[in-house]
Amino acid sequence: MERRFQVDKDFERQYKKFMIEYESLGHMMPVENNEKSMDPKNLFSSSSCCYESISTVFSYSLLVSNGLDLERDDSAVSSLIKESFYIDDLMAGAPSSEEAISLIKTLSNILEARGFHLRKWRSNSSEVLSRISSNWVGDSSNLEIHPECSKALGLTWNSMKDIFIFNLKVNFPDNITKCSFLSQSARLFDPLGFLTPCTVSIKIFYQQLWLLKLDWDSPLPEALATKWKTFQKEFEQVCSIHIPRWIHTTSQQIILHGFCDASELAYASVIYAVQPQADGNTKEYDVHFYAWTDSQVVLSWLSSHPRNWKPYIANRTSEILDLVPADSWRYVPTKMNPADIACRGLSPKELPKCVLWWEGPQWLSCEMDSWPKQPKRNDQTSSVSKERKRTAFSFPCGCQL
């Protein structure tokens, strides 16, 4: 900024005029001489926020910058504020109603003392809501969807049934243009990826549409328009999908199974959490995370040290192995790979009934003996061999005449 002032005096005058006006409106104030300052010398600080509740990231950053040491008050609350606030939403939980009530009251009192008022609490426990201040509870009359539902980060949560639902109300115009298509498809908001097979289908459609280089108001070609209309008719099928929020486990031993796949048009991954049966006969697992792929070529690359491969493969396998060690990788047939579904895409009509996507392969709930048999790896195939790094040795020889 200082350099810009030196070369552009008009800009400097406009900037100073703006700052004077901003200060006169009370939005900012100059720092006193006896206060700690830093370069540049013209330092302004905000003394208030136009929101009366903790509703923005700015509010929280202001709280921290003012020197509030949350660890002194309560380490649990400090961790909650740092990790569970998303813009203006707090999403957290507790093992019991008593702990939830205690956490709500402690958090509210600590933040209210600093000028941050938490409101609109929602819970799947009627006991929790009945035992906290009525001023803190969300007003169901203001909810647009249903008295039992509320929105957080674009997700619709039915707190009484404790499920996530999707509420889509879309009026499709008869004339489909590039602009209207983007507007309609963007309403399928799915930040957690529950509907990935559907959203991938839309993204693949994006790719096809962009290759045509159409203007924003240009009608779609007949073939694409027909394809999108078919998808539209099934759009509301998504509303029949109900996803339990709680995974019904308090076990400390959770086994994660991650599946991945890629095609020429898309790539995807999905992770399932499995709780071993507490029957006393469950085997101890060596690791608590398994990664599955249907590519035997990739498994061959991962089974060998990255230095054995050419730079492109070496760099990527090195990064992968830093996160997931080689002994955690397994082979899964394509038909049993739920990530394959996400790569190819599904229509909204097919998705609610796709058991492989929602529950994963049936053998996930079985012992390791029932898992897919691992094929013998052949490192001599052309796909593997062509990426192997060649090493040349030079042996100088002495010669006497």
Task: State in Å, rounded, how far the first CA of the chain is from the last one.
Answer: 75
Q: Give the whole-angstrom CA distance, residue 122 versus residue 128.
A: 9
Measuring CA to CA, how many Å separate 152 from each of 86, 113, 161, 177?
A: 9, 25, 16, 31
Q: What is the pLDDT of residues 77-107, one digit of tens each?
A: 777 877 787 766 788 888 889 999 998 888 8
Least confident piece of the model among 9-18, 201-210, 301-310, 321-330: 9-18
Q: What are phi and psi of 97, to 5 degrees?
A: -65, -40
Q: Give the whole-angstrom CA distance, residue 147 versus residue 291.
A: 41
Q: Give the whole-angstrom CA distance, residue 75 versus residue 153.
A: 26
Cβ atoms of residues 100 and 93 within 8 Å: yes
Q: What is the pLDDT of residues 24-81, one digit of tens each?
A: 776 677 666 655 555 555 555 555 555 444 444 555 555 554 335 565 656 777 778 7
Q: What is the pLDDT of residues 214-265, one digit of tens each?
A: 899 988 998 888 888 888 888 888 888 999 988 776 666 788 999 999 988 9
Taking residue 375's Cβ as centre, other Cβ atoms within 10 Å add up to 10
List strands edge to edge, sheet with 163-165. Answer: 149-152, 155-158, 163-165, 242-244
* Residue 388: predicted pLDDT: 76
Q: What are phi and psi of 235, to 5 degrees?
A: -55, -45
Q: What is the pLDDT of residues 157-185, one digit of tens each?
A: 888 888 998 887 767 777 889 888 888 88
